[in-house]
Amino acid sequence: MIVAFSVAPSGTVGDSVHDAVAAAVKVVRESGLPNRTSSMFTEVEGDWDEVMEVVKRATEAVSEYGPRVSLVLKADIRPGHERELTGKVERLERALEGAGVRLDEEA
């Protein structure tokens, strides 16, 4: 499965949450599971128990930065499939190239 999630503290002092997000991403990267972080979400791939444990620990890491935590989670549950974190994007790139569009072009 692939889970895309965003976790951030609420009730903190100031506008920036980068330290809290960095703590969550550190947990994900140290998990050893395939992962990727973008400006809005962190994606992690593995089996149900592995992924949910990482999300739980990342959420706990963020809870150190405020009295309340917001978690947004989206999951693609597809038993029997691995390496989909990159595979889905590779298939999209091939489809776009076939249509004469490059994925890495800026909008």
Single pTM value for the model: 0.83
- Taking CA atoms, 96 is separated from 72, 90, 92, 106, in Å, by 29, 10, 6, 14
Task: For residue range 11-66, list pLDDT tens digits in order.
Answer: 765 567 899 999 999 999 999 999 999 999 999 999 999 999 999 999 999 999 98
- Nearest CA to 43 among 65, 19, 73, 68? 73
- Has residue 16 been placed in a domain? yes
- Has residue 32 been placed in a domain? yes
- Has residue 50 been placed in a domain? yes
- Has residue 55 been placed in a domain? yes
Range of the domain at 74: 2-98
Domains identified in the chain, total number: 1
- Has residue 103 been placed in a domain? no
pLDDT at residue 5, rounded to an integer:
98
Burial class from Cβ neighbours inside 10 Å (0-12, 13-18, 19+) for residue 80 reads exposed
Q: In 10 A of CB 10, how many CB atoms? A: 12
Residues ≥6 apart with Cβ < 8 Å to 42: 4, 5, 6, 24, 25, 28, 35, 36, 58
- Has residue 86 been placed in a domain? yes
Q: Residue 86: which CATH number?
A: 3.30.70.930
- Has residue 51 been placed in a domain? yes
Give CA–CA dist 80/1, Å, rounded: 9
- Has residue 67 been placed in a domain? yes
